[in-house]
Amino acid sequence: MNANQFLKAVSQLQGWRECAFLLALAERAFPNYALFADAVGMKSGGKMRQLLDLGWDMLQKDATEAAIPQLLTKLEALSPAVDEYDAYGVYPAFDFCQLLEQALLNRLNPNKHRATDASHLATKTVMDFVEMSEGEGMDEDELVRLFEQHPLLKEDKLFQRDTLLTLKRQRTPRDDFVSQLRLDAANDGVSNLGISLEG
């Protein structure tokens, strides 16, 4: 599956599959939030974990429309304000919040397509991190080469593509399927930036 085929397939995601794709992206990015929250003493990692778990729960049962705005309000309260922190970690943490927000909004308004933007955002988180950690002083050509060859970006591409193919093959969001999808996305607690909750 080349890049164009992948983007086309993502743009065709609908319903529970689109929501599951968004949740999988958020799940993979969760350690970025948890580690940042821990590092700056926000003490909100556990609450955010609960929100993400509720998002997964809603995939298999109809969420009451009243519940989702409440979850979105909680998410907003737990999201870090980017301009209030000096640490780079606030950016991947905030990106995670945006991914989870898209998954929740998907349940509120399933007719608005969100997966394409979310896919770009998840990849951009990795690109920004690679550029920040390894790309200093590089010109554009060198950066492009760095991105093309970087294991984290290869891993991100593979994860997104595999998740997409898995979703396309599945007819209904059965419990065992969703559990496996979550497990794969959680990646043993290692995020899309290669950082781990186990530390």
Per-residue pLDDT tens digits for 141-180: 999 999 999 999 999 999 999 999 999 999 999 999 999 9
Domains observed in the chain: 3-189 (1.20.1590.10)
pLDDT at position 199 is 55
pLDDT at position 188 is 96
pLDDT at position 63 is 66
Q: Which residues of the chain have pLDDT under 50?
A: none
pLDDT at position 197 is 81
Please check whether residue 129 is in contact with residue 193, taking contact to mean a CB–CB distance below 8 angstroms: yes
HEC profile for 79-144?
A: CCCHHHCCCCCHHHHHHHHHHHHHHHHHHHCCCCCCHHHHHHHHHHHHHHHHHHHHCCCCCHHHHH
DSSP assigned state of 172: S
Element of type H or E holding 57: helix 45-60
pLDDT at position 1 is 81
How far apart, in whole angstroms, are the C-alpha atoms of residue 7 and residue 2? 9
pLDDT at position 85 is 95
Q: Model-level pTM?
A: 0.96
